[in-house]
């Protein structure tokens, strides 16, 4: 059971409303990674890397049952012999569209689907997308991890449910825009500290018609220390994480056993 992973965050621009070009871009990056000397154990993509926030056209461009994205991501996982956390894509199921993460194991098998639970009203996401209703919990090499998407990180009670299930690494895919770069960085650090877990977060860069996206994809350790961070440009952000540090930190400061849940009202 491996406890040390090389993680790679694909911080890229997204061509608004053009899934074919975006899929081709992901394939090119994977080809480059496959030829690199340093191998990747986990590849993470940003939110809505296939369409961007072209919400008004989702009826036309959403990926039916996620078939096109699944093919690209499964192929990438096999090519890299790595877990691929497929950011998120616009997935059509029947007459509904979801903002969905697909996770593939090293053999290219789909092991998890997570649909974004908290939809971002500031970008009118709730008008075009159906929210998910289940957590994104799964395992990598026998270790408990989880996936969330962008706005989800503003809900500490949601992320705490992951930690209480034993999650050691939280993977975050996002299209986080300016002027809220400070929020992005501070929320990721806070989620890592309060839950004593790694937070591995991939954001996009570039512009669409309404927003400029701020990049700064990050890997934060359970002490809240940033061990890797991108700039506001297309790049691969890489880090090595050691999950034994999670157990160490949780042993030093026993946050979970010191909780007084009888006093907490999470219903209001």
- Residue recorded with tokens 């997308």: 129
* Coil vs helix vs strand at 235: strand
Tell which residue, 241, 246, 238, 178, has the closest CA to residue 202.
Answer: 238
Is position 31 annotated as part of the catalytic site? no
Q: Could you say which of 116, 168, 175, 202 is catalytic?
A: 116
Per-state percent for the chain, helix, strand, coil, to nearest 5: 30, 30, 40
Q: With beta carbons less than 8 A apart as the criterion, state whether 215 and 231 touch.
A: yes
Q: In angstroms, what CA-CA distances link 37 with 34, 40, 142, 234, 237?
A: 8, 10, 25, 20, 16
- Spell out the residues 6+ positions from residue 99 whose beta carbon is closer than 8 angstroms to its own: 47, 48, 88, 89, 90, 91, 115, 116, 119, 125, 129, 132, 149
Q: With beta carbons less than 8 A apart as the criterion, state whether 174 and 118 touch.
A: no
Is position 116 annotated as part of the catalytic site? yes
Is position 233 annotated as part of the catalytic site? no
Q: Could you say which of 12, 112, 125, 150 is catalytic?
A: 150
State the DSSP H helix or E strand holding residue 5, giving kind and residue range, or none if neither.
strand 4-11
Q: Could you say which of 47, 91, 125, 175 is catalytic?
A: 47
Q: Which residues belong to the active site?
A: 47, 116, 150
């Amino acid at each position: 059971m491996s406890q040390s992973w090389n993680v790679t965050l694909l911080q890229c621009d997204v061509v608004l409303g053009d899934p074919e070009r975006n899929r081709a871009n992901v394939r090119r990056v994977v080809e480059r990674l496959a030829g690199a000397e340093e191998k990747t154990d986990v590849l993470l993509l940003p939110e809505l890397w296939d369409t961007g926030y072209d919400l008004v056209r989702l009826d036309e461009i959403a990926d039916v049952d996620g078939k096109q994205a699944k093919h690209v991501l499964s192929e990438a996982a096999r090519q890299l012999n790595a877990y691929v956390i497929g950011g998120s894509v616009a997935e059509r199921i029947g007459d509904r569209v979801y903002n969905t993460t697909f996770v593939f194991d090293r053999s290219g098998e789909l092991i998890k689907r997570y649909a974004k639970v908290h939809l971002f009203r500031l970008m009118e996401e709730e008008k075009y997308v159906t929210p998910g209703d289940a957590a994104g919990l799964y395992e990598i090499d026998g270790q408990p991890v989880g996936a969330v998407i962008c706005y989800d990180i503003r809900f500490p009670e949601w992320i705490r449910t992951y930690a209480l299930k034993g999650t050691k690494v939280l993977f975050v895919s996002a299209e986080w825009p300016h002027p809220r770069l400070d929020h992005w960085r501070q929320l990721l650090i806070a989620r890592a500290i309060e839950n004593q877990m790694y937070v591995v977060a991939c954001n996009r860069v570039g512009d669409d018609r309404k927003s400029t996206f701020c990049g700064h994809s990050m890997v934060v350790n359970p002490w809240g220390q940033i061990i890797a961070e991108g700039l506001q440009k297309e790049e691969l952000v890489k880090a090595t994480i050691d999950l034994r540090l999670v157990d160490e930190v949780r042993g030093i400061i026993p946050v979970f056993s010191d909780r007084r849940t009888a006093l907490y009202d999470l219903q209001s």
